[in-house]
Amino acid sequence: MDNRKREFANKDRKYSKEMECFKGSWATHKLLHKKAKDEKAKREVSSWTVEGDINTDPWAGYRYTGKLRPHYPLMPTRPVPSYIQRPDYADHPLGMSESEQALKGTSQIKLLSSEDIEGMRLVCRLAREVLDIAAGMIKPGVTTEEIDHAVHLACIARNCYPSPLNYYNFPKSCCTSVNEVICHGIPDRRPLQEGDIVNVDITLYRNGYHGDLNETFFVGDVDEGARKLVQTTYECLMQAIDAVKPGVRYRELGNIIQKHAQANGFSVVRSYCGHGIHKLFHTAPNVPHYAKNKAVGVMKAGHVFTIEPMICEGY
């Protein structure tokens, strides 16, 4: 045997011994990897919960109107795959929509074509599917962070961008507004509690169109006051919808909503309104929900807009 063959033979024997050693320790090796993987999973799961975390208030000194407090820090912003079509604000450092800014201040209402309407029907149907997924998760102990995570994944599964994400730097994929929070609540680590009410606001972006809808849900058993509030708000919405037809002034919807809310002992939030929506997330018309407003415009076939009354206990 020449030196070269002897060298190969030595290497083969060494390799064989290494393989025997590897095989002999494989069970231990596998166990260690599984343990490390399990520990990582535990850390990820624990990061979804408030227990063990040092909760921080990002708005220290803010004069809260109720008992609810934010539970921070938040989970990191979730990525959206590059193959998903994105609105113009998705990658803007300030989350600014240049297309919306270009029309800021105008009261001109876009008339959608039949093709536009079909695009809106599709994205709104998909948004309804995602909202139903969120609704199915609502129960005591679930955090709004967990709901947001499910919403995000459901959007991606439907090849949709979650419209709230990075819209003027909003950090999440949906809005979750609990109890006294009027709207645009940021999902966080607070577990939902028996007796809460929570509004989930979903908007998806698909093929250049936004589809926006929201609904308020009971968490377990709620008191009669909460039931009456949610029922009255729903009735306000349906009465306004019943009035929608060509020729109706947008300002009239606020008269209808406020009349019914006040008749039941509630008041209407004036700070936030319904809005036009299509290829822009928020645009004309402005749709106030309170009486004697000065909304501009008359409804025409081809207009698409939201009606989203926000009703409060007291005045």
Is residue 146 a contact partner of residue 231, using CB atoms and an 8 Å limit? no
Distance CA 127, CA 79 (A): 19
pLDDT of 311 above 90 = yes
Is residue 312 a contact partner of residue 290, using CB atoms and an 8 Å limit? no
Residue 236: other Cβ atoms inside 10 A: 25
Can you name the residues that pair with 313 across neighbouring β-strands?
A: 266
pLDDT of 4 above 90 = no
pLDDT of 1 above 70 = no
Q: What pLDDT score does 8 carry? A: 41
Show the CA angle centred on residue 253, arms to residues 274 and 198, nearest 5°: 45
Distance CA 174, CA 183 (A): 11
Between 20 and 145, whose confidence is greater?
145
DSSP E strand stretches across the chain: 161-162, 175-178, 197-206, 209-218, 266-268, 274-276, 283-287, 311-313
pLDDT of 171 above 50 = yes
Between 288 and 18, whose confidence is greater?
288
Average pLDDT in the chain: 89
Q: What pLDDT score does 60 carry? A: 83
Per DSSP, 305 falls in state: B
Distance, C-alpha 279 to centroid of its chain: 18
pLDDT, tens digit (0-9, with 9 covering 90-100), for 90-112: 999 999 999 999 999 899 999 99
Domains, in order of start, for the chain: 85-98+111-222 (3.90.230.10), 223-314 (3.90.230.10)
Q: Which pLDDT band, with edges at 50, 70 and 90, does 15 fall under? A: very low
- In this prediction, residues 65-71 reach a mean pLDDT of 93
Distance CA 127, CA 154 (A): 9
Q: pTM score, two decimals?
A: 0.82
Is residue 178 a contact partner of residue 198, using CB atoms and an 8 Å limit? yes
| SS3 of residue 21 by DSSP | helix
216 class by beta-carbon count within 10 Å (0-12 exposed, 13-18 middle, 19+ buried): middle
pLDDT of 81 above 80 = yes
Q: Which pLDDT band, with edges at 50, 70 and 90, does 28 fall under? A: low
Q: What pLDDT score does 56 carry? A: 81
Q: What pLDDT score does 50 carry? A: 43
Q: What pLDDT score does 55 carry? A: 78
pLDDT of 6 above 60 = no
Between 46 and 261, whose confidence is greater?
261
Q: Which two tokens stand for residue 92?
A: 């803007």
pLDDT of 9 above 90 = no
